[in-house]
Copies of this chain bind each other. A is one copy, B any other.
Amino acid sequence: MTGVYEITPIGRVESPLLERGMAPRQGDEGAPDAWLAFEPRVRDGLQDVRAGQELLVLTWLDRATREVLTVRPRGEGDRPLTGVFSTRSPDRPNPIGLHRVRVLEVDGLRVKVGDLEALDGTPIVDVKPVLGQVNER
């Protein structure tokens, strides 16, 4: 029942955030702009990404701890221990980060985005559009 699947990064984050202590909890809490640097092999998949769009960036939070199942939300010691699936803690069995960002600039395989709380070097695993209403899809 529990096969294992392999994720191969499609790129990396380039950010001034170098370690967890520097990062805000979420992108809309004061995160800096960052560059997404994609691998040449996924170039065709990026061909419709444009400045001004909102995207969901999925990352592999490679500095997270995978053995954790309960945390105190936002690292605040006075909050009760909470199941990780009810929090956005990076520490969780499969540490996939989900980041909603706006595209600021596209330069070939490099995409500049606003307000990204992921650390420098974080692997990018997928990018998706934000879905509009059903009749706009």
Task: Establish whether residues A94 and B7, one from each chain, have CB atoms under 8 Å apart when the complex forms.
Answer: yes
Chain B residue at smallest Cβ distance from A58: B96
Task: Establish whether residues B39 and A2, one from each chain, have CB atoms under 8 Å apart when the complex forms.
Answer: yes
User: A residues 68-103 with Cβ under 8 Å of B?
Assistant: 69-70, 73-74, 82-88, 92-94, 96, 98
Task: Establish whether residues A4 and B3, one from each chain, have CB atoms under 8 Å apart when the complex forms.
Answer: no
A107 touches B (CB below 8 Å)? no
Query: With a CB–CB cut-off of 8 A, which chain B residues contact A58?
Result: 94, 96, 98
A120 touches B (CB below 8 Å)? no
Task: Establish whether residues A5 and B62, one from each chain, have CB atoms under 8 Å apart when the complex forms.
Answer: yes
A51 touches B (CB below 8 Å)? no
Given the interface contacts A123-B3, A126-B94, A134-B29, does A45 sit within 8 Å of B9 by beta carbon? no
Chain B residue at smallest Cβ distance from A86: B48
Task: Establish whether residues A7 and B10, one from each chain, have CB atoms under 8 Å apart when the complex forms.
Answer: no
User: A residues 2-40 with Cβ under 8 Å of B?
Assistant: 2-10, 12, 25-26, 28-29, 39
